[in-house]
């Protein structure tokens, strides 16, 4: 299984072995995002690319930013709109191809990518980075959280992004990298739930018990996956 083979619209409609549960939907903003916003990482008009069910976008809107969230899944966009409305927040959500971002040119001062980059293949990543340049104003900020090559062997993801990949794809794609460091990204699953989720997709998949035990978890027992935290400025 590779992530590009997954139909995210079907996943958000609940047509998967997981039902309606998403391993990346923690029902709240990502803790690393909350810390980033608290340190002054955002300014101006914000684009949340691959916004999913909209928890990060809603958090940023609650902090006073004008936020647009885009996702390729119409169901995710509809559900994100419903969640934001239930919170009384004004967030714009749109269906869009992240590798094109048509109609969003020259608008944004800050971009958030919370676990989209690693879902794209290398050709798509180059198109995506170029689309982000078109969507932003000169001097705009870009923040990316993506799975890193520090993930333990046996962790169920087809993509492990290297520092070199980010420096060559993002750093040579119209962005000047200002910070690139390891971080931990909170998932919605415990190690046992992670094992069950992947076995539902890939019957017969075996897991190394030591690998599962090695995973960092938060105070609720949810897996915290190693990611790169990248910050860049548009040149």
10 in a domain, yes or no? no
9 in a domain, yes or no? no
220 in a domain, yes or no? no
* Residue 154: pLDDT over 90: no
160 in a domain, yes or no? yes
Mean pLDDT over 97-102 rounds to 98
pLDDT value at residue 7: 84
Q: With cut-offs at 50, 70 and 90, classify the pLDDT of residue 4.
A: very low
CATH number of the domain residue 129 falls in: 3.40.50.150
Query: Model pTM?
Result: 0.94
pLDDT value at residue 161: 97
86 in a domain, yes or no? yes
Structural domain boundaries, residue 38 = 27-188+227-234
194 in a domain, yes or no? no
* Residue 214: pLDDT over 50: yes
Domain count, the chain: 1
Higher per-residue pLDDT: 157 or 50: 50
pLDDT value at residue 205: 66
DSSP output for the chain: --GGGS-HHHHHTT-STTTT--TT--SS--HHHHHHHHTT---SEEEEET-TTSHHHHHHHHTT-EEEEEES-HHHHHHHHHHHHHTT---EEEE--TTT-TT-TT-EEEEEEES-GGGS-HHHHHHHHHHHHHHEEEEEEEEEEEEBTTSPTT-S-S--B-HHHHHHHTTTTTEEEEEEEEEEEE-S--HHHHHHHHHHHSTT----HHHHHHSEE-TTS-EEEEEEEEEEEE-
83 in a domain, yes or no? yes
6 in a domain, yes or no? no
């Amino acid at each position: 299984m590779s992530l590009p083979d997954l139909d995210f619209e079907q996943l958000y409609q609940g047509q998967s072995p997981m039902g309606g549960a998403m391993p990346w939907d923690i029902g709240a903003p990502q803790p690393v995002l909350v810390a980033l916003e608290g340190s002054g990482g955002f300014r101006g008009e914000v684009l949340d690319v691959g916004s999913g069910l909209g928890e990060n976008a809603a958090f940023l809107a609650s902090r006073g930013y004008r936020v647009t969230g885009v996702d390729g899944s119409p169901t995710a966009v509809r559900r994100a709109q419903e969640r934001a409305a239930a919170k009384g927040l004004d967030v714009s959500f749109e269906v869009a191809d992240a590798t094109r971002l048509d109609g969003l040119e020259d608008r944004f001062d800050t971009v958030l990518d919370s676990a989209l980059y690693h879902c794209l293949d290398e050709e798509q990543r180059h198109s995506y980075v170029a689309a982000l340049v078109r969507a932003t104003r000169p001097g705009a900020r870009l923040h990316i959280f993506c799975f890193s090559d520090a993930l333990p062997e046996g962790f169920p993801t087809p993509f492990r992004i290297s520092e070199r990949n980010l420096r060559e794809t993002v750093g040579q794609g119209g962005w000047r990298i200002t910070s690139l460091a390891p971080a931990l990204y909170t998932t919605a699953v415990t190690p046992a739930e992670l094992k069950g989720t992947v076995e539902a997709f890939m019957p017969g998949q075996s897991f190394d018990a030591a690998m599962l035990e090695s995973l960092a978890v938060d105070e609720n027992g949810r897996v915290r996956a190693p990611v790169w935290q990248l910050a860049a400025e548009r040149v």
